Amino acid sequence: ADPIIKSLDMREHDDVFDQRLRLRFFTSAKYPEICLVLFGKCPKNSVDRIGTQIATLAAWETIRLIKPKIIASIGTAGGFKNKGAQIGEVYI
């Protein structure tokens, strides 16, 4: 996410989500209508949190608190590889 954060001149806000969720929220100074939510790191193993459970929780909290017009879930296609998905492909 770093290239997106840098290119859109994004700043992190730590007062949006409950801190226990470890979700990270960024807004763009360049494009105020664009924001970014990252899933944070696992407190036990210090690795990026991935998967459907944290994606669902992040989407729920984003919809509840931010009320966006559009949500784009951007990540890897590893979970759908057995269905023919390829990393680098765009699915809508």
pLDDT in tens, the chain (92 residues): 888 899 999 999 999 999 999 999 999 988 999 999 999 888 889 888 888 899 999 999 999 999 999 998 877 656 677 777 777 777 66
Question: How far, in Å, CA of 65 to CA of 21, rounded?
Answer: 13
DSSP string, 27-48: EESS-TT-EEEE--B-TTT--B
pTM over 0.85: no
Amino acid letter, 51: G
pLDDT at 15: 94
Which pLDDT belongs to residue 51? 81
Which residues 6+ apart lie within 8 Å of 58 measured at CB? Answer: 21, 23, 37, 39
Distance between CA atoms of residues 17 and 61, nearest Å: 7
